[in-house]
């Protein structure tokens, strides 16, 4: 099904056409093979970077494309419809570039062209084994020692662990609570940074996720981003943008599931007619199409607030919550439409359903999104 989009510029139309071409040529043919082998498609990320699709929302002076967030999110949606692991990798990498781009010094930002061009890949180290949602209580500690910080602790659920070229490490440099947290940018080759074995995940098997141990790792003090104590503010600001990325991924995945289910339902014959003509299935697909359109609209509305420089964190939480719940519902329903065929790997909908689940968890669980939204309502 063709999505009818309203885009702000002719350049945006060209970017989405480029994204579609690359997604069809570089992503779709590889997804099943890489997922089955649990292999990270590093060269695909380089290809996207060299095509300019990894730096879309960042300034041209740093190697980005200076595109509105609403355009970047629609590129993510297209990528997710072909291979969610790659779209999520783009979203995580974009998130990983945010602290440096928004809070880094001019000297630190000299790293950005290689990051935004895809030659270097980033990871975002916030969660810990005992503190995922409670980020303000993180325990990884960095102690100043001359011209370095000595970092000790363990980070958990780190996307790109072991394949990233740099890590944003949120660590405690001061007092308990959010004011004692700082952000360091660490190179992968830093002695004492030890990625652990990859987790065996339900979906997104080609996306490596693991703990990363910091065993007295020495990170140069000039890699401190935003000053001591600024880490929590940086982390929360980055997550507002990251939640929109995950919402866009969810929309793309849900759209792919719907498209496949509709195609199947048009062709599958029972009792002498296409099963899409039976009201039970036809209405189910109609509801799915409506929910996807609503999720897309909510996501882009939040992005336009961001582009206008207006507060958008609550709307980002709503978009992430709604879009990922829609993706879970639609992918599950797509399996139901295919019946027994939906439960086997000959069709992609079983993979879509497994992949959708993680979107309700990453970048803040959907329970956390509800907490964020309800607290804002209480303040009003």
Cα–Cα separations (whole angstroms), residue 37 to 82, 206, 354: 17, 7, 16
What's the gap between Cα 167 and its chain centre? 16
Q: Which run of H or of E encompasses 153? A: strand 148-159
Q: Quick one: 172 exposed, middle or buried, by C-beta within 10 A (0-12, 13-18, 19+)? A: buried
Are 148 and 90 in contact by the 8 Å Cβ rule? The answer is no
Q: How many residues belong to the chain?
A: 380
User: In sequence order, what are the beta bridge partners of 212?
Assistant: 155, 195
- Catalytically annotated residue among 88, 128, 315, 363: 363
Q: Which residues of 71-81 are buried (b: 16+ CB within 10 A; e: fewer)?
A: bbbbbbbbbbb
SS (H, E, C) 245-269: HHHHHHHHHHHHHHHHHHHHHHHCE
The span from the CA of 245 to the CA of 261, in Å, is 25
Q: Catalytic: 363?
A: yes
Are 332 and 353 in contact by the 8 Å Cβ rule? The answer is yes
Structure tokens given for 115: 């990051």
Are 164 and 134 in contact by the 8 Å Cβ rule? The answer is no
User: In sequence order, what are the beta bridge partners of 332?
Assistant: none
Query: Could you write out the DSSP letters of every residue in 204-237?
Result: -TTS-EEEEEEEEEEEEGGGEESSTT-HHHHHHH
The span from the CA of 32 to the CA of 162, in Å, is 22
Catalytic residues, by residue number, are 363
């Amino acid at each position: 099904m063709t999505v009818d989009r309203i885009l702000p510029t002719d350049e945006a139309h060209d970017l989405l056409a480029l994204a579609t071409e690359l997604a069809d040529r570089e992503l779709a043919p590889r997804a099943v093979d890489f997922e089955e082998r649990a292999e990270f498609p590093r060269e695909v990320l380089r290809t996207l970077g060299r095509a300019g699709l990894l730096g879309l929302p960042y300034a041209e002076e740093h190697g980005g494309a200076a595109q509105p967030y609403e355009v970047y999110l629609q590129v993510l949606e297209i990528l997710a419809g072909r291979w969610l692991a790659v779209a999520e990798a783009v979203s995580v990498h974009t998130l990983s570039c945010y602290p440096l781009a928004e809070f880094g010094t001019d000297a630190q930002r000299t790293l950005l062209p290689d990051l935004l061009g895809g030659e270097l890949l980033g990871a975002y180290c916030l969660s810990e084994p005992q503190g995922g949602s409670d980020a303000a209580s993180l325990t990884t500690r960095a102690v100043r020692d001359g011209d370095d910080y000595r970092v000790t602790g363990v980070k958990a659920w780190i996307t790109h662990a072991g394949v990233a070229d740099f890590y944003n490490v949120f660590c405690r440099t001061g007092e308990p609570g959010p004011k004692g947290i700082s952000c360091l940018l660490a190179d992968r080759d830093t002695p004492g940074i030890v990625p652990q074995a990859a987790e065996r995940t339900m979906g997104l098997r080609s996306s490596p996720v693991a703990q990363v141990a910091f065993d007295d790792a020495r990170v140069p003090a000039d890699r401190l981003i935003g000053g001591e104590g600024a880490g929590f503010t940086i982390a929360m600001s980055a997550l507002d943008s990251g939640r929109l990325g995950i919402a866009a991924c969810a929309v793309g995945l849900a759209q792919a599931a719907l498209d496949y289910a509709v195609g199947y339902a048009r062709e599958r014959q029972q009792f002498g007619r296409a099963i899409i003509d039976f009201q039970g299935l036809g209405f189910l697909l109609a509801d799915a199409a409506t929910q996807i359109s609503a999720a897309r609209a909510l996501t882009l509305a939040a992005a336009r607030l961001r582009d206008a420089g207006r507060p958008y964190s609550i709307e980002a939480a709503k978009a992430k919550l709604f879009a990922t719940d829609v993706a879970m519902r639609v992918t599950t329903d797509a399996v139901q439409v295919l019946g027994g065929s939906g439960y086997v790997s000959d069709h992609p909908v079983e993979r879509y359903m497994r992949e959708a689940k993680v979107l309700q968890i990453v970048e803040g669980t959907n329970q956390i999104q509800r907490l964020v939204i309800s607290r804002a309502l209480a303040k009003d």
